[in-house]
Amino acid sequence: MILIGPVANDPTESVSAVNRSLAAALSDRYQFVLSNADRRFGTSTQGRVNGWNLYYLIKHALVWTLNLLRHRPAVAHYAISSGAALRKGLLFLNLARLLGVKTIGHLHSGGFLSFWEKLSPERKLATLRDFNKLDAFIVLSESWREAVHRKVGVPRAKLHVVNNPIDPAFEREALAFPIGREEHAILVGGILGSDKGIVDLRAA
């Protein structure tokens, strides 16, 4: 059994979408438990220190711990991101490890390397120790695998590439979209920003 989180009911939330797709694609071989991480309040202030975020940290930690105790999974999978979410993800994975569960971190942050460069040497050392305690660390591409190894120091053997999925139904609909293929058309499923490669696509 694999415990996977965070998962929210918001269908546009990217980490939840990836986690659900992983569970759906592998459900014929593994049994999954999805750990709920919904928020009703404070959604516009995530990543900041405030009362709502403290409340949801405690709530989600309790849900995560109860899932660990109730289901006794063999593996726990959780997103690794930047900012305060980095400590949260590692906290949850460390809780699982302390209960004897194997742990998989899944890097979900396009700006992670920029964030990493700004950390103090002490914070980098402490975070790298936590990374090295993981049984596996998933990244999104071979270039990310090389960058995380070289710039962060995670051993290559611990880093595994799992590309972001594309739902087959979405792909069929996108390819059948009634546009002239000779025209310049870009379909984007994400934030329109330079960090997402929009400028590069336009230049290309």
Q: 2-165 sits in which CATH class?
A: alpha beta
For residue 3, is pLDDT > 80?
A: yes
Domain spans in the chain, listed from the N-terminal domain onward: 2-165, 166-204
The pLDDT value recorded for residue 150 is 95
Segment 33-72, tens digit of pLDDT? 988 887 777 555 555 666 777 888 899 999 999 999 999 9
C-beta contacts of 84-91 below 8 A and 24+ residues apart:
84/47, 84/48, 84/49, 84/53, 85/46, 85/47, 85/109, 86/115, 86/127, 88/57, 88/60, 90/127, 90/130, 91/61
Segment 131-140, tens digit of pLDDT? 999 999 999 9
Segment 72-92, tens digit of pLDDT? 999 999 999 988 889 999 999
Segment 176-199, tens digit of pLDDT? 877 665 666 666 666 677 766 777
